Chain A
Amino acid sequence: MKLQYMHLKEVNDPLIFLEGVKDVGFNEVVEIEMADGSMRHGQVIEIKGDSVGIQVFEGTEGISLENTKTSFKGRSMHVGLSKEVLGRIFSGTGEPIDGLGPLFIDEYRDINGLPLNPVSRVYPRNYINTGISSIDALTTLIRGQKLPIFSGAGMPHDELAMQIVRQARIAEDAGESDKFGVVFAAMGVKNDVADFFKRSLEEAGVLDRVVMYLNLSNDPVIERILTPRTALTTAEYLAYEHDMHILVIMTDITFYSEALREFSSSKGEIPGRKGFPGYLYSDLASLFERAGIVKGKGGSVTQIPILSMPNDDITHPIPDLTGYITEGQIVLSRDLHQKGLYPPIATLPSLSRLMKDGIGSGYTRDDHKALTDQLFSSYSHVQEARSLASVIGEDELSDTDKKYIRFGEFFENNFVNQGPEVNRSIEDTLDLGWALLSLLPREELDRVDSEVLDEFYNSQEAYERFNIKEKSLVRELGQKGE
């Protein structure tokens, strides 16, 4: 028989405080029965003797000091799971909201998870072929990695995430396709964004392999803090109990962090940068670190968090701290987006930390690393040439720099730009990369061993492929500048 506590000592949205409470554990789950019989849920976040502070997930609206009955459940926040979660839609706390009735539950799991022992991890090495050149060649996604998309308002990060889901699935070995699954966590995004994902997943024919946890922008803010944890617990369950390869898409980390800030300031905590709590790093890490592969288990958890940078500012605390935790980032560029290129992936600031061990012979192709290094190096020289051109005019550039400018255009228009429906094989992507590099003078390719160049450098073929003449590389540009 569980005790019910009547009355409250204090209400301070989203927190309530009780007095005279006994035998309650830290982080314990609380049920609050309202006067009309409806239930709300909360969690113990502070204990001082017999006084207890509780955060209410659904908000404290309508709660008065007199009209509630509070009972403690004797355990921390858990979510009920079974393999039947696939194809279902839940609220952020794990309640079914798709009208298909309650879930048959195999086991309950603590949504906070536990830190994975580094000695029990498998270092991720298997690359995921996304069919997107900028990702496969330059920021290769590895199974078990956490690779966020840094975007901004109005940019096609959702489309990109969906294209990855669609094409990564197709690249999956046919016999293994029933081992593939998607866990989708919406945190504070609008209804139409959630609908877009639902529709696209349906069109891709994978809806029965998807679990959705939705906390939309009009849902309770505190529930937003639970949503990714519930989703990741599900992902871990499917990956490590049912040997599935799970791709977790979490959108939007910025809204999540803002919910955390709201919660922190209501607790009266000392704020850090831009009002975010000092533990934002640890808190985000407790989400992102749940990506990985466990020794002896067949599945994996790969994360693609989506993060809209406030004001496109990559030094804002949210993208900044995220970048320090995740294993790289895919950065979208407003400039490329406005040029009409899709996907508008900004090559230079994008990075995949795990790719160095997941590419090359045995994984992608022997020449992959050389190509990547040279593309980065050459494209960064393009930026220098462009900034010089903006001062002195393109006419005054040296012939070499003019070639760089043209290379930059071809690279953006043919390599980065690819369209939402195009699925390029890794061979096509790498060959395209070499063809583009072959537009540059061979002596400019200083990152590549001579033997590799002998095999892949072929300027004649490249000119034919892009239908240009060598001289025109320089001359046309000169004329254009006049």
Chain B
Amino acid sequence: MGKYLLRRLLIAIPTLLLISMVVYAILALAPGDPLSQFGLDPRVPPEVRENIRRQLGLDQPWHVRYVKWLIAALQGDLGYSFQSRVPVSELIAQKLPNTLSVLGVAYVLAVLLAIPIGVVSAVKRYSFFDHAATTFAFIGFSVPTFFTGIILILIFSVKLHWLPFIYQSTLNVSLFDMESILAQLKQSIMPITVLTLFQTATLVRFVRSEMLENMPLDYVRTARAKGLQERFVVIRHVLRNSLIPVVTLIALGVPAIFGGALITEQIFRIPGIGLMLVAAIEQSDTPVVMGATLMFSVLVVLFNIVADLLYGVLDPRIRYD
């Protein structure tokens, strides 16, 4: 195991280098222009635009810019945003807490809800509960989040005036200040609901189907006949076997928490990583896109290693050569 881990970590280095290069190349070659937001503004004539371009270093070919970026990044310097001229690391540090406090919570909730719902749904297949869970799950992922978000806003903000729908990142949340906790709860409950609904829906389907796959029906029937205790044991065994895909999914999902949930962030104006990344992409703010992508790809690579290690724990027969 130790040797395997070491090998994987060593392979991760060239992988990340390659990813960063490919991403940089895509950013450089894709159409888009950091100056496009001036639009037709006649106050910013072509000479001025050329000047700004030169100041941003955009007059150099992309491979030169990449090497410069890489050398700085290896020293821990992710550069400055083209737009705000603020260091990229500072921007990420500013946005990450907002993303985590909404997406992170939603994701944990989703996992906590999805596993029991999926298990019960599978054990009581085609029961009322199963049909209800199935319908809910399908509403969950065939109705896009932009839709659930708007519906919640219309009900709870516009009609009932209970909840605000403009997220305040300036709120100082302190554990000793009930009011601030309440305010944070009020402003994050709708986005968390939207995301949880969506994520639970998809996870439930996987847990349910995997449980069914691993559930030898007559075994369960026998166990059930023997009494509850047995049944729980069985479920635990079945569940353990069903967890491999779930672990895979969670390993894919955790980096995505850091990547942000664009639509939800936009609807509720949560200044998170997702929003920052897309704004940066739209404005061709290469340093910001590279910084966020680098963080994201490190997490992807790491969590996939974690998943591979966990497979071995869940199913001792899985060996790596």
**Chains A and B belong together in one complex:** no
